[in-house]
């Protein structure tokens, strides 16, 4: 009788161990079968909403003369209808038209850029855009920080960084989920090298367009070269700031220096000042922005 009791207890112990083992395996996500009608099968977890929406429903543009279409239609005048960001001109096919269609662009895009604006003005422009609660804000600013009366008058890089960060912080305080597209500052030295082939353009430059780069347009001496190189280095530093600050924000995309690297030719420059983008140049900017915003990955 005693031996039989021991045997019975051994069988019970083995059975209990087996049950516990199976339960442990199932709990840890191992090879145990999922019970029929389980919640995991009946209600699969939904896919997380992507952080970046490649089809925003509204757009607000901030920035400087380029976004205002300055000198693209008439001399020394804004022409926002050809703006790369929000324009309605069919030859440009602006970012807003590409994303929203012509009707959507007319109803759900706004242009708060100001000719002559510098980075210090960005926060005020964003404050104007906030009440519209746009899905996307486009930023193109910085050329005027380099286009000063002299090299020494250019915005310091540290100040440029602080101003951009402040503007982004103010945007996030009001619109935490709005997306931001940031364009690089164009290659001002290339614009000088292309535009100086026009006698008319050089005469317009004397009216005060980007003197740090464009003054004495035909001078090729060492002093003039050093001046232009200093402006170019400052633009490159600004673009690094734009990249750095944007990279810290999950809903910000920098263009990867695509605008800076774009080789504007005379066909993409204003026939009035041979420095600002023409209609064709505006269309190229729209293409770059659209490509960056709709890309699957930044």
- Let me know if residue 81 belongs to a domain: yes
- Let me know if residue 134 belongs to a domain: yes
- Please give the pLDDT value at position 48: 60
**Separation of alpha carbons 96 and 147, rounded Å:** 28
Split at pLDDT 50, 70, 90, the class of 173 is very high
- Please give the pLDDT value at position 44: 60
Weakest mean pLDDT among 31-35, 163-167, 218-222: 31-35
- Let me know if residue 25 belongs to a domain: no
Q: Considering the entire predicted model, what is its pTM?
A: 0.83
- Please give the pLDDT value at position 240: 98
Q: What is the CATH number of the domain that holds 122?
A: 3.40.50.1110
Work out the angle at residue 277's Cα, subtended by the Cα atoms of residues 197 and 213, and round it to the nearest 5 degrees. Answer: 55
Give the full edge-to-edge strand order of the sheet including 179-182: 109-111, 59-63, 136-140, 179-182, 252-254
Q: How many domains does the chain have?
A: 1
CB-neighbour burial class of residue 44 (10 A; exposed 0-12, middle 13-18, buried 19+): exposed
**Separation of alpha carbons 255 and 187, rounded Å:** 14
- Please give the pLDDT value at position 51: 87
The per-residue pLDDT of the chain, averaged, comes to 88
Q: Is 61 helix (H, G, I), strand (E, B) or coil?
A: strand
- Let me know if residue 17 belongs to a domain: no
- Please give the pLDDT value at position 22: 36
Q: Nearest CA to 277 among 116, 78, 106?
A: 78
Domain that holds residue 113: 59-294
- Let me know if residue 30 belongs to a domain: no
Percent share of the chain, pLDDT over 90? 80
Instruction: Give me the mean pLDDT over the 264-274 stretch.
Output: 93
- Please give the pLDDT value at position 201: 87
Q: Examine the pLDDT at 6 and tell me if it is beyond 80.
A: no
* Cα–Cα distance list, 115 to 35, 65, 80, 108 (Å): 67, 4, 11, 22
- Let me know if residue 146 belongs to a domain: yes
Instruction: Give me the mean pLDDT over the 120-125 stretch.
Output: 98
**Chain segment 31-89, per-residue pLDDT in tens:** 334 444 444 455 566 566 678 999 999 999 999 999 999 999 998 999 999 999 999 99
**Packed helices 157-174 and 222-247: angle between N→C axes, nearest 10 degrees:** 30
- Let me know if residue 125 belongs to a domain: yes
Split at pLDDT 50, 70, 90, the class of 258 is very high
- Let me know if residue 15 belongs to a domain: no
């Amino acid at each position: 009788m005693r031996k039989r009791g021991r045997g019975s207890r051994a069988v019970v112990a083995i059975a209990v161990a087996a049950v516990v083992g199976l339960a442990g395996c199932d709990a840890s996500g191992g090879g145990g079968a999922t019970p029929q009608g389980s919640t995991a099968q009946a209600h699969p977890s939904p896919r997380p909403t992507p952080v970046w929406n490649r089809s925003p429903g509204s757009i607000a543009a901030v920035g400087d003369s380029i976004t205002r279409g300055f000198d693209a239609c008439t001399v020394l005048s804004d022409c926002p209808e050809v703006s790369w960001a929000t324009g309605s001109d069919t030859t440009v096919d602006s970012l807003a038209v590409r994303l929203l269609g012509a009707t959507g662009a007319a109803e759900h895009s706004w242009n708060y850029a100001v000719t002559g604006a510098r980075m210090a003005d960005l926060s005020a422009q964003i404050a104007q855009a906030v009440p519209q609660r746009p899905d996307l804000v486009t930023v193109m600013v910085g050329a005027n920080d380099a286009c000063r009366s002299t090299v020494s008058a250019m915005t310091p890089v540290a100040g440029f960084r602080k101003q951009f960060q402040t503007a982004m912080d103010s945007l996030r305080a009001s619109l935490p989920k709005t997306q931001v597209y940031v364009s690089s500052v164009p290659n001002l030295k290339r614009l000088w090298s292309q535009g100086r082939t026009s006698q008319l353009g050089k005469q317009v430059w004397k009216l005060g367009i980007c003197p740090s780069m464009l003054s004495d347009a035909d001078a090729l001496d060492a002093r003039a070269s050093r001046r232009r190189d200093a402006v170019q280095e400052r633009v490159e530093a600004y673009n690094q700031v734009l990249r750095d600050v944007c990279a810290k924000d999950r809903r910000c995309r920098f263009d990867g220096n695509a605008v800076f690297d774009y080789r504007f030719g005379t066909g993409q420059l204003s026939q009035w000042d041979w420095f600002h983008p023409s209609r064709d140049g505006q269309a190229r900017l729209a293409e770059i922005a659209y490509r960056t915003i709709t890309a699957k990955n930044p």
